[in-house]
């Protein structure tokens, strides 16, 4: 039971480790089927050795736990790429699961309780002994103990992430106030471990700040990385198009860079409430000649 709880956190553990080793958003590889298969093999071998259980059984426990984590993430957060690196297909089912500790507890606690009650009733109906029914209760207690052992780490990580989210929000306020220098300082703090829930947002905010400071060469790769990190965001695509449209490049080059982005906006986000306003602004920038306004 402890292994099931611990293995359910493997994608997040891998994601946090990758944050120390690479730049960008490590959640795509960390939450993909490829990683689930790759990581499950050595972890299952270790679990099989420690518990002296069959390797096939240990592999089933680990792989099912990791896959369940990935499935719940797909249902909660749009933009996941479960087939990475073989496909850039993005799973976008909206936010199916409830948000908030109370609602999550009611949903998943209710499922766990229903499983225990159903199992106990089945044992009673088929002539199970009271000891067997008590065994189900002991399993529930062991699951609770295992969760208590793992959850403090998860809660501490979440607390640190909330701090980073507030720093990212402060950077957004600085940008709206026309103070990109202070926004960059806040973003330097926000990118520290464990980072925010959407790392691509930090790339986008930093690109916006650098663009306001006139540092186009530094802003461009960040705009592109933000777009790659979250292809479902209307504003990441719209601001990239606007950045090119308002850049100091020659008019012909600006038009060449912006046209395919406008086609993507029309194909993917024409129903967005700000679509017409954004396209009009981009066309206005394209009509201007000379340096960035």
Share the mean pLDDT of the chain.
80
- pLDDT for 119-136, tens place per residue? 777 767 776 666 666 666
Choice between 277 and 128, residue whose per-residue pLDDT is larger: 277
- pLDDT for 227-274, tens place per residue? 888 888 899 999 999 999 999 888 899 999 999 999 999 998 999 999
- pLDDT for 154-184, tens place per residue? 777 778 878 888 999 999 999 999 999 999 9
> Which of 96, 117, 140 marks a domain boundary?
96
- pLDDT for 189-201, tens place per residue? 888 877 776 788 8
Whether 197 contacts 165, CB under 8 Å: yes
With respect to residue 46, please indicate whether it lies within any of the assigned structural domains. Answer: yes
pLDDT at 122: 72
Over the Cα atoms of the chain, what is R_g? Answer: 24
Whether 36 contacts 63, CB under 8 Å: yes
State the pLDDT confidence band at 203, using cuts at 50, 70 and 90: very high
pLDDT at 24 over 80: no
Q: How many domains does the chain have?
A: 2
- The DSSP code for 91 is B
With respect to residue 10, please indicate whether it lies within any of the assigned structural domains. Answer: yes
Domain coverage including residue 68: 1-96
Q: Quote the CA–CA distance of 99 and 109 in Å, as a whole number.
A: 14
Give whole-number Cα distances, 19 to 11, 26, 28, 113, 115, in Å.
12, 7, 12, 36, 37
* 68: CB partners within 8 A, 6+ apart: 8
With respect to residue 179, please indicate whether it lies within any of the assigned structural domains. Answer: no
Token pair of 141 as six digits: 């207690």
State the pLDDT confidence band at 99, using cuts at 50, 70 and 90: low
With respect to residue 147, please indicate whether it lies within any of the assigned structural domains. Answer: no
b (16+ CB within 10 A) / e for 3-22 = bebbbbbbbbbbbbebbeee
- The DSSP code for 195 is -
- The DSSP code for 48 is H
Token pair of 3 as six digits: 């292994």
State the pLDDT confidence band at 210, using cuts at 50, 70 and 90: very high
Using alpha carbons, select from 157, 160, 158, 219 the residue that is nearest to residue 184: 219
How many other β-carbons are positioned within 10 Å of the β-carbon of residue 123? Answer: 17
pLDDT at 292: 47
Query: Per mean pLDDT, which range of 45-54, 140-149, 250-259 is the poorest?
Result: 140-149
pLDDT at 51: 77
Whether 242 contacts 236, CB under 8 Å: no
With respect to residue 16, please indicate whether it lies within any of the assigned structural domains. Answer: yes
With respect to residue 50, please indicate whether it lies within any of the assigned structural domains. Answer: yes
Choice between 185 and 129, residue whose per-residue pLDDT is larger: 185
pLDDT at 217: 93
> Which of 96, 125, 151 marks a domain boundary?
96
pLDDT at 29: 67
> Which of 58, 77, 96 marks a domain boundary?
96
pLDDT at 218 over 90: yes
With respect to residue 115, please indicate whether it lies within any of the assigned structural domains. Answer: no
Please, what is the Cα angle at 55 between 50 and 59, to 5 degrees?
100
């Amino acid at each position: 039971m402890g292994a099931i709880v611990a293995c359910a956190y493997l994608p997040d553990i891998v994601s946090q480790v990758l944050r120390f080793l690479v730049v960008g958003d490590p959640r795509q590889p960390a939450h993909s089927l490829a990683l689930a298969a790759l990581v499950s093999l050595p972890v299952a071998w270790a679990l099989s050795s420690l518990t002296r259980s069959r390797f096939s059984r240990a592999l089933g426990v680990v792989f099912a736990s990791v896959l369940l984590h990935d499935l719940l993430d797909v249902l909660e957060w749009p933009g996941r790429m479960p087939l990475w690196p073989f496909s850039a297909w993005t799973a976008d089912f909206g936010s199916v699961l409830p948000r908030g500790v109370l609602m999550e507890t009611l949903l998943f606690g209710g499922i766990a309780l229903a499983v225990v009650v159903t199992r106990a009733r089945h044992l009673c109906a088929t002539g199970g002994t009271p000891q067997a029914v008590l065994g189900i209760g002991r399993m529930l207690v062991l699951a609770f103990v295992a969760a208590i052992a793992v959850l403090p780490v998860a809660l501490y990580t979440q607390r640190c992430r909330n701090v980073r989210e507030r720093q990212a929000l402060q950077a957004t306020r600085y940008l709206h106030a026309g103070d990109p220098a202070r926004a960059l300082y806040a973003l330097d703090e926000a990118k520290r471990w464990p980072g925010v829930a959407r790392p691509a947002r930090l790339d986008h905010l930093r690109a916006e700040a650098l663009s306001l400071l006139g540092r186009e060469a530094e802003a461009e790769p960040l705009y592109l990385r933000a777009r790659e990190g979250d292809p479902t965001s209307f504003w990441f695509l719209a601001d990239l198009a606007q950045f090119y449209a308002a850049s100091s490049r020659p008019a012909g080059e600006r038009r060449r860079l912006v046209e395919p982005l406008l086609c993507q906006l029309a194909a993917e986000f024409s129903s967005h409430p700000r679509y017409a306003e954004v396209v009009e602004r981009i066309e206005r920038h394209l009509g201007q000649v000379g340096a960035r306004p």
